[in-house]
Amino acid sequence: MNAVPHILAEEEAIATSEGRTARFVAGARRTWTIIRRHRVILFVTMALCMLAGAVLILMSTPDYRATASVEVEDVPAGAAGAGALQHAGTPEDTASLMQTELEVLRSRALAESVARELALVGTPTFFQGMGKRRPAQGTGTLSQRQVEQEAVIGLLRENLDVELPGKSRVLRISFTSADPVLSARVANSYADSLIRADLKRGFDSGVQARRFLLGELDGARRDLERAERDMAVYAARTGVAGDEEKAGGATALPAQGSTTARLDQLNAFRAQAMADRIAAQKRWESARLASAETLPEVLGNGAMQQLMAERAQARAAIVEERQFRKDDHPEMREARARLAALDDQAQAMAGTIRASLKEQYDVAVHGERQIAAEIADLERQAVVERGRDVQLGIMERTVDTYRMLHDSLLQRYRDMASQAGFQAGRIQPLDRAAVPSRPSSPNIGITMLLASLGGLALGLLLVAGRHMFDDAVTSAQTLAERADVPLLGAVPVTGDSPQPPEIFTPIAASLQLASPAGLPRSILVTSAQEGEGKSLTLHALALALAKLGKTVLVIDGDMRRPAQHRLFRVAPAAGISEALTGQAAAQELIVDTGVPGVSLLACGAMPPNPAELLSTPALDALLAEMTGRYDSILVDAPPILGLTDAPLLAAKTQATVLVVEWGRNHHGGLRVAVERLRRAGGSIVGAILTKQQGRAQDYDYHRAG
């Protein structure tokens, strides 16, 4: 049971593969058909490209290419005589090194060196070898020699080719010119100049390194002296010049014990002063809000206690005397006066005690503020001292740094001075350029191959473009591709005169096989555009059917530009327009054309709106009435595009024959016309190709049939 889904899946995969193969084969056949149809374009394009390649070869001057090679190696690094070998670099470093050497080879400076070595400026030999004209005079502010030198340098840089094969360290230096000897000389001179430039850079780098170190050493010495001088000046200005010196010669920092101890002492005093102030403040607040006589300080005062005792005795004496004497008695007045004096003394003494409490509070506040001010002064002094200490520490570290830098540079300079040798060159010669025996260009084989391939590609592009953008019908194949309509036949160009019936006899015979019942009983003849020969085709087709023994009724349904009465040489009279409007019977309007078996129902009067007239049921009745009297009815209709007459007539007739002019109907017009007829319900049995040109199309037609 499990094998059945597997077998079905395999069969589906095989069917899918076969479908893809069939589509591929069909596409290949269509492509081959298109190429074969436009083979002339392809062959002519290839021939022209190959001819252009041959002309290019004949007109080209042979060039000779000479190549020299050098190798870039790892050498002692740094300045001359550094003595330390260069460590193996990363691949990125190697790639950067090789790219640098490539840019050096392409530089103007190296080109000037080659020009000087080979004495290329001032002689006509170089320009002759390059196939160029030597400058004869200067331009602007440049002299003739300067202009010639610029031309030589430009030619050297333009014809130089530098290659780096793969990830190797080998540089290939090639030069191309019309003179093989000159090519070899220039290539070898470039290699030699590159080696000399590398050696010179090595020597110059050693000299420049020593000069650089000497300048850096002088700068470090000046920096060290300036740092030591700045530290000494700062120490003297801040008052630490007489302190003890440390082991390194730097001035020691002053102790801060006295300032710290004083701050601790003052902080303790401030705490005590704050406590005293709080106590005095509480006493004063109590004295300020309470009665003076109730204050503990007042009650605890001895003098106040004595005064209060005397006042009590005076009050008691007044009470005792009041029992025996009146208030106006002199002794009573004297007793009251003594009591008032005692009260005043008590009040004065209580005020004095309260004032003393306020004074104690003020003294406590003032003492606390003085201590706080002294603490603030000491704190500012401590901050200044800490800043001075920090600044001295920074200066000391700066002096140490400059001293270490100076000692390091001095040791490095001594080493370089004692080992002032020359380092080996980085670039070594590998192969010298030999004089080429054969020209490097033009390469006949490659040039002709490229020309043929380019011609083939261009030809295929032209064929594809013509196929895509040119939809003109020129054969049965193109008719099937553009409109999916079979070809009934093709007729040559005969001008605007009626076509000979003999040409349409095979087409008329083909129409007798257009339906299972034989010749269609009603046939509409129309075209996509005007001027394609539909009326002439219908006229000749009617004559050809008559020669085959058929009775034919020709209805001129083109009510806009009727032409059948002119082709049959019949005087225009009433016709189908009168029949459709009911002005006369159709049988009465049919006229004899003079051709046996052919009758004509002319257009008659041209109506203002033919489409409305053709859409009436009267046309159906007319066709039904005439179908039983004639073997076939041929209806001439206006063009399809831009008008609605032809689709209306196509829906009412049994078959439609499309007339297509050879080489016309561009930009999809024919496809649009066919789609309109089919949407209207018309049955297109085939097309007739008119105004045919050439003779190759007949073979295409027979092959398509």
| CATH at 602 | 3.40.50.300
pLDDT grade for 68, boundaries at 50, 70 and 90: very high
The whole-number pLDDT of residue 245 equals 45
371 and 388 housed in the same domain: yes
Domain boundary residue, one of 366, 399, 432: 399
Per-residue pLDDT at 242: 39
Q: What is the mean pLDDT of the chain?
A: 79
The CA distances from residue 685 to 183, 483, 575, 597, 617, in Å, are 76, 12, 28, 23, 25
Last-in-domain residue among 422, 453, 469: 469
- pLDDT of residue 67 exceeding 90: yes
- Please give the order of strands across the beta sheet that includes 598-601: 487-492, 684-692, 655-661, 522-527, 632-636, 552-556, 598-601, 591-592
- 299 part of a folded domain: yes
In which band, very low, low, confident or very high, does the pLDDT at 196 lie, cut at 50, 70 and 90?
A: confident
- Calculate mean pLDDT across residues 87-98: 73
Q: Are residues 454 and 580 in the same domain?
A: no
Q: Residue 36 falls within a domain, yes or no?
A: yes
Q: Rounded mean pLDDT of 522-529?
A: 89
Same domain, 394 and 456: no
| Highest mean pLDDT: which range of 1-15, 22-36, 349-363, 517-531 | 517-531
Using CA atoms, how far apart are residues 655 and 643, in angstroms rounded to an integer?
Answer: 19
**Above 90 in pLDDT, residue 175?**
yes
As a 3-state breakdown, the chain gives helix, strand, coil percent values, each rounded to 5, of 60, 10, 30
Give the mean model confidence (pLDDT) for residues 71-76: 72
Q: Is pLDDT of 509 > 90? A: no
Q: How far apart are the first and last CA of the chain?
A: 51
**Structure confidence at residue 161 (pLDDT):** 92
Rg (C-alpha) for the chain, rounded Å, is 63
What pLDDT does 75 receive? 57
- Say if 682 falls within a structural domain: yes
Same domain membership, residue 579 and residue 495: yes
Parallel/antiparallel/unpaired status of strands 655-661 and 598-601: unpaired
What pLDDT, in 10s, does the model give residues 558-570?
888 888 888 888 8
Best mean pLDDT range from 73-77, 240-244, 441-445: 441-445
The pLDDT value recorded for residue 588 is 86
Return the pLDDT at 703.
Answer: 36
Rounded Cα gap, residues 476 and 702, in angstroms: 8
pLDDT of the residue at 496: 60
Cis omega before residue 506 (within 30°)? no
* 640, 526 contact by CB (below 8 A): yes
In a domain, 296, yes or no: yes
**What CA–CA distance (Å, rounded) separates 85 from 74?**
9
Mean pLDDT across 492-504: 68
Alpha helices by DSSP H, listed for 238-329, are: 257-289, 296-299, 302-322
pLDDT of res. 457: 92
- Is the model's pLDDT at 29 over the cut of 50? yes
Are residues 520 and 571 both part of a single domain?
yes
Pick from 308, 311, 283: which is nearest to 293 by CA? Answer: 308
The listed range with the strongest mean pLDDT (147-151, 237-241, 267-271, 497-501) is: 147-151
User: How would residue 283 be classed by pLDDT, with cut points 50, 70 and 90?
Assistant: confident
Asked if residue 433 is part of any domain, the answer here is no
Residue 531 lies in a domain: yes
Most confident of 15-24, 30-39, 215-224, 247-256: 215-224
In a domain, 390, yes or no: yes
What domain count does the chain have? 3
Lowest mean pLDDT among 180-184, 357-361, 600-604, 629-633: 357-361
* 455 & 558 share domain: no
**449 shares a domain with 382:** no
Tokens linked to 211: 């000069």
Percent of the chain with pLDDT strictly greater than 70: 82
* 10 lies in some domain: no
DSSP 304-366: HHHHHHHHHHHHHHHHHHHTTS-TTSHHHHHHHHHHHHHHHHHHHHHHHHHHHHHHHHHHHHH
Instruction: Identify whether residues 363 and 497 lie together within a single domain.
Output: no
pLDDT confidence band for 333 (50 / 70 / 90): confident
Of 399, 425, 459, which one is at a domain's C-terminal end? Answer: 399
Specify the DSSP class assigned to residue 550.
-
Q: Residue type for 202, please?
A: G
Segment 599-611 mean pLDDT: 87
Q: What is the DSSP string of 494-509?
A: -TTSPPPHHHHHHHHH
Q: In the β-sheet with 64-72, what is the strand arrangement from edge to edge?
A: 160-163, 170-177, 64-72, 427-431
Same domain assignment for residues 498 and 618 = yes
653 shares its domain with 526 = yes
Domain that holds residue 38: 26-60+443-469
Per residue in 341-374, pLDDT (tens digit) is: 777 776 777 677 777 777 777 887 888 788 888 8
Which band of pLDDT confidence, cut at 50, 70 and 90, is reported for residue 704? Answer: very low
pLDDT at 184: 92
| In a shared domain, residues 450 and 375 | no
Predicted confidence at residue 420, as pLDDT, reads 53
Q: In the predicted model, is pLDDT for residue 254 greater than 60?
A: no
Q: What's the pTM value of the predicted model, to 2 decimals?
A: 0.41
User: Which residue carries 């670039």 as its tokens?
Assistant: 427
Give the pLDDT of residue 702. 35
The least confident of 443-447, 474-478, 677-681 is: 474-478
Instruction: Assign 101 a pLDDT band (cuts: 50, 70, 90).
Output: confident
Please give the residue that has the higher pLDDT: either 336 or 226: 226
Residue 684 has pLDDT above 80, yes or no: yes
Same domain, 447 and 482: no
Report pLDDT for 83: 41
pLDDT, residue 79, reads 42
Identify whether the C-beta of residue 81 lies closer than 8 Å to the C-beta of residue 421.
yes
> What percent of the chain lies above the pLDDT cut of 90?
11
pLDDT at 635: 92
